[in-house]
Amino acid sequence: MKATIFVSALLLFCAGCTSQQSEQLTQQQVDQIKSEVKLAGDSLMAKLRRLDPGWSLYFVESPDWKMINADGSHNDYQTFANSTNNFNTSVATYNWATTRQDFIVAAKDMVICSWIGKDELTFKSGDKMTYDPHSYTLIFKKIDNQWKVFYSHDSGVPVMSKVGKK
Amino acid sequence: MKTIIFAPALFLLCAGCSSQQPSQLTQDQKDQITGEIKTICDSIVAGWNRLDMDASLAYYSDSPESIHFRGDEVALDFPAMKKNWIDGVPTLTSYTWTTTNQYYPIVSNDVVVCCWQGHSQVVMKSGDIINFKGAYTSVFRKTAGQWKVVVGHESGTAVTKKAGRN
């Protein structure tokens, strides 16, 4: 009897552990996670549009932090944090329009977001910069019940329109 | 007695089968995963450098969730990306990618990111030479025991030296 129970428990253990990842999440859980991350991304963009400095709080310093820019350069977290101040003081208006957004739920607290859209910045100098398209690969991690970005890679070609030039 | 045997087995089941986040992986497991991904990334680059795109494409997923970003282009699905690579080969004399920096953030035990930074030189059959400096993000997902790229993202700057010009 002991052997039967032990073998059954062992089989249950082995069967249960063959797949340990997102397959364990129900479709309802996956949908819930996607909607949470979408909401976090939308809130980030809404704050950017309002030029609310709180947008930068959606990014979090992490040992795995990486920010790859459209020109192939990369920023460490401190460089990013410093650049946010520059953005907040030099930009007059910011607009973003999403054209596509996909999510890969890697785990219950890790999501990869592919985000494509068009953005337009107007600087206080009057110069304008547009990216169309502008593509992002973002990795969100849930920390203290909030979704935060610790990995960002974007690409696109900036088109500058200098004030007074046509 | 049954309870005594069943309870530890149930504990083992629950402990072993909960979704493994990066922080729950042992250093040995992380090293193992990193080693597997590094080997694949090196094989992908070796394929590019031989202009053997089929060899590199073997490590890319053809699942519907696959998405690839290339600079200024809109997102490509796997068939479009594959066509892009295959169609490009007859126009090339050589392609050489040199990695200067790489790292592998582990998102979960079946999702890992490979981040390459480096530069490439493309010699076209026309004689033009393109020097590219930039970065690649490849998101790998392990499915049926195999690591495959499901998200690819490239960004950087390219300078073209036209044939016959100094």
A52-75 pLDDT tens trace: 999 999 999 998 899 999 999 999
Residue A95 above 50 pLDDT? yes
With respect to residue A107, please indicate whether it lies within any of the assigned structural domains. Answer: yes
Q: Classify residue B32: in a domain, yes or no.
A: yes
| pTM confidence score | 0.85
Residue A15 lies in a domain: no
Distance from CA of A110 to the nearest CA of B (A): 7
Q: What confidence score (pLDDT) does residue B73 get?
A: 74
Per-residue exposure over B134-144, b if at least 16 CB sit within 10 Å of its own CB, e if not: bbbbbbbbbee
User: Does the pLDDT of residue A23 top 70, yes or no?
Assistant: no
What pLDDT was estimated at residue B16?
A: 41
Which of chain A's residues have a Cβ under 8 Å away from the Cβ of B97?
A: none
Q: CB-CB: which of B12, B108, B151 is closest to A114?
A: B151
Q: How far is CA A151 from CA A32, A148, B83, B162, in A?
A: 22, 9, 29, 36
Residues of the domain holding B145: 23-161
Number of domains in chain A: 1
CATH code: domain of residue A53: 3.10.450.50
Residue B16 lies in a domain: no
Count the domains in chain B: 1
In a domain, A18, yes or no: no
Cβ–Cβ under 8 Å, residues A105 and A97? no
> Which among A109, A135, A139 is the nearest to B21, CB-wise?
A109
Q: Evaluate whether residue A101 is within a structural domain.
A: yes
* Among B121, B125, B147, CA closest to B35: B147
Residue B11 lies in a domain: no
On whether residue B127 sits in a domain, the answer given is yes
Instruction: State the residue range of the domain holding A117.
Output: 23-161
pLDDT, average across residues A70-85: 93
Q: Which amino acid is at B113?
A: V
Is residue A150 domain-resident? yes
In this structure, the number of other CB atoms found within 10 A of the CB of residue A80 comes to: 17
**Domain of B129: which CATH number?**
3.10.450.50
Considering only the C-alpha atoms of chain B, give the largest distance between any 2 of them, rounded to a whole number of Å.
Answer: 87
Q: What is the DSSP letter of B77?
A: -
Q: Residue B5: inside a domain, yes or no? A: no
Considering only the beta carbons, identify the residue of B105, B108, B137 that sits closest to A21: B108
- pLDDT value for A5: 53
CA distance B95 to A10: 52
pLDDT above 70 coverage of chain A, percent: 85
Cα–Cα distances (Å) from B99 to A48, A72, B9, B118, B151, in that order, read: 34, 13, 47, 4, 19
| pLDDT at residue A80 is higher than 70 | yes
Q: What is the mean pLDDT of chain A?
A: 88
In a domain, A4, yes or no: no
CB B99 within 8 A of CB B117: yes
pLDDT along chain B (166 residues), means of 10: 50 45 84 96 97 98 93 86 95 96 90 95 97 96 96 96 82
Q: How confident is the model at residue A24 (pLDDT cuts 50, 70, 90)?
A: confident
- Own/partner pairs, A23-27, CB within 8 angstroms, 24+ separation: A24/B17, A24/B19, A25/A105, A25/A108, A25/B19
